[in-house]
Structure formats: C-alpha cells, structure tokens
Structure 1
C-alpha cells in the first residue's frame, strides 16, 4: 500500500515538472516610454541641447510640493512676461468694463480696433445709456454677437447711471449685478482699475491650470477658489496676467510649444505638444504690432531669439 502511494506521488511530481518545462516563459511587460522635460527651457538658451530631468509626477505631490511648484511657475512666468497687463485698451473703469464685456467670443485686438470709435461717440455712461441701439450695433458689428453685446453695454450703462451715479462700483457684489458682467469681468475690473486682487478665470487660465495639474476642477468658480488657495491674495491679479499671456503665446490649446517653454521642467504635461526646440519656436505667437490707442500701460513684451524678453515696442 505504501509502495503504491510512493509510486503515485513520484508520477505526479514528474508530470508537474514536465508541464512546467513545457510552459512558455512569460515576457516582462515593456517599460512605458516617458517623455522627459529639458532641465532648462530651450527657449531661454539658444542652441542648447535639452538636458534630461524627470518631472515629479503631480499625483505624488504633497500639498506643500504643489504650492511650491505653482509659485515657482508664476515666478518663472513673471521673468518671461515682465510687462504682462490687460491687453484691452482703456483709460478709465467705464471703458475697461465695456471693453471686457465686448471681448467675449472675440480677440482683444479686435476689441481694441473697435472701442476707439465707440468711446469717441459715447465717452460716458450717460452717453451710452441714451444711445440709439442700431447705431451702437453698427459700431460693434466687427466684434461678433453685436446685438447681444449692444444690449449688454447699453444696459450696464443705464444701471451705472441709475444705481451708481454714473460711476463703476468697486465691489464684486455690485459689479456682477450689471448686465453682461460675471465674476471673470468683475475681477478684471477690480484688479486693473481699482487695484483689488482677483483671479480672472478665462479659457486660457482654465486650460493651463488643469494642464499643470494645479486643480482638476472644471467649474470656473471652483477653479478660482482652488488656485487662489495656492497663492497669496496679493499675487492674484499678476498671476492671472502671467497665465493668460503664456496661454496665448506658448501653451496653445491644440499644439503647445513644449520645446520652447520656459517652465517645461515644472510641467507634468510636457510632451503633449512639439518638443523639438526649432519646430516649437515656429509655434510661438508674438502678436506683434501693439494695440491702437495704448497709452497708459507699458508696451507688451516679446521673446527674442534666445527666449528672453525683447525690448518694448519703440525702445531703441
């Protein structure tokens, strides 16, 4: 009996060994190829070969690390865009609130080409409140959605006259009551006409802060709160300018110029766009030519061939 059990056990072991030998060895999974950002932005050093440096995965970031990375990005952008400012022309809060309302669904350049005629004919809220809508529509036609915009600017002008004595209020809760004025427009006005900090969450800002993984929120109000918590309140207005300028010039929606980006080592989305430095440079948008009527603010900065700010327009 014992002998039969031993024979059976030996046969089973032999069978198992044969099966193991016949089974094909499993291949180890191929390592995932990771696109690595250059250690220093290639846009800043002409002809420099990108040095490899691993970007820390934001998913592994602590709250402290996220705050540090976000603030460092803002500091880097401040060096690249030292002249960042609202790209709408205005001489007073009334002109700014009207121009910002008109900027919806069009470019700031188009608005700046349109507002000189509008403000020449209707320089005050009282003038625009009493305007013939058809005449205003004709002036605003180039900006698109001109009928809705005409209704908004005439409506907000009437509200300014009737409720605020013809003056633009300096409080958020009052501004958002004006026709056509939401939180985004209100913060543009508060930050740039009254010097009161605010975060402007436009389409560029939303795209970039999500791309940089500062937040996963999609609602503008929640984005505003999440990003605002990463920075001192005093930084909010300039931060908005830096991010928006970068979104317009380098970090485009469809094809960002990753190889010419000054914050590439800090960006978890590096590699979504063109990483070759020479090809990336061709994607940069300088928006040369300035803006009509620009008088009170410093001219915009451009990147030179080495990626550093070029002299302002008109500078020797």
Structure 2
C-alpha cells in the first residue's frame, strides 16, 4: 500500500478523526493535553470536569492553590508535576499573553509542561494548523508501516511523516494513526500491520 492508500483506509475507519480528550475551548484543550502526558485520555476526562468547574479559565487557574489543584488531579499519573505546570502555564498566559493561547509552536513550547508533541496537538486540534504530533501510538504504527526506523527519535519520526504525508492530511493523519494504534495495532498485537489494514479495507468496502 502507498501512503495515501493507507490513509484512505484509515479515513474510511475514522472519517471524522479528533482528539478523545473532552474540551470546549483552546485553553481547556491545552490544559487537557498537558495533563495527558503518560496518562490515558479516559483518566484525564474523569479529572478535568472538576478542575474546570473550580478553575474555568487561565485567570482563575493562575491564582489557584497548588495543594487544591493536586487534590483534584491526584487520580492521574504524575499529578504533582502536572499541577505545577498548569498553574505556571496559566500565570504566563495571563501575565505575558493577555489570556490568549499562543498560535505558534515556539510560543507554545515556551509554556511550562509543553513539549513539541503537546504543541503540535494544540496547533492541529485547536487552530487547524497543519502539524503531526508523535505519541507512542503514532510512533509504533509509523515503525510497523515501515515509514520510520526502529531507532528513530520522536523528532525524526515526525520529520519523516511530514515528508511522506501530504500536508493537507497532516492533522487528520495524526489522529487516524493514533486511533489505529490505540484500537487496531496495539503494542501487544503481533499481526502484520498490512493484514490489519486489509481487513479494515474489506470491511469498509463491504459496507
């Protein structure tokens, strides 16, 4: 299969791909993505309603007491560090950015707790900016497809994917590869990835 053929199969399976994190504005998207590092989306979606009820925006979260935030987030992985990050990020958004979420990767990555993957997710999901975020699922799928080498770093995988995938498909491809890795080509799955893709292709064409 060519790159576009793979993406066409995934487009049938995931016609409207988007983040499984729950959010209703760019600030809450940013906070949810920061919290999602090394944690499941399910665990984040359970924790964020209480967080955003107590601190609905950057201004309120910037003034939050660290212990109070940690109490709300104690069910998620690495909650102590993440609680510090989201408070400090909120402070910077308020004091330096007039409450606005940055629109560039460089500005996003200047925020506490925001790495390249988080920045790319916010750009693609929040602003519709072409970007490919590489997480464990995307990394695994890219390597199994032969689009990246086993030894490649996250940045190398991102660069290879950007070269292989047409730019207009970057944002959707990120979500499609992630969802495919999460549900159809898991870490424990030993099947040939192209066999799995062919099964999906046959299933969707029958429908």
TM surpasses 0.5? yes
Counterparts of residues 87-126 of structure 1 (less than 5 Å): 87-126=20-59
Mapped to 2, the partners of 1:131 and 1:259 lie a distance apart of 46
- Cα distance, 1:232 vs. partner? 1.8
Q: Is the contact made by 1:258 and 1:264 (CA closer than 8 Å) also made in structure 2?
A: no
Q: Secondary structure at the match of 1:71?
A: helix
Aligned residues: 203
Mapped to 2, the partners of 1:72 and 1:148 lie a distance apart of 41
- Cα distance, 1:188 vs. partner? 0.6
- Cα distance, 1:81 vs. partner? 1.2
Question: What is the RMSD of the two structures over their aligned residues, measured on CA atoms?
Answer: 2.1
Q: Which residue of 2 aligns with 1:221?
A: 155
Q: Which residue of 2 aligns with 1:13?
A: none
Counterparts of residues 1-316 of structure 1 (less than 5 Å): 69-216=2-149, 218-256=152-190, 262-264=196-198, 307-308=203-204
Mapped to 2, the partners of 1:232 and 1:105 lie a distance apart of 29
Q: Which is richer in helix? A: 2
Mapped to 2, the partners of 1:88 and 1:307 lie a distance apart of 27
Mapped to 1, the partners of 2:123 and 2:193 lie a distance apart of 35
Q: TM-score by structure 1 length?
A: 0.61
Q: Is the contact made by 2:185 and 2:193 (CA closer than 8 Å) also made in structure 1?
A: no
- Cα distance, 1:84 vs. partner? 1.8
Larger radius of gyration: 1
Q: TM-score by structure 2 length?
A: 0.92
- Cα distance, 1:254 vs. partner? 1.6
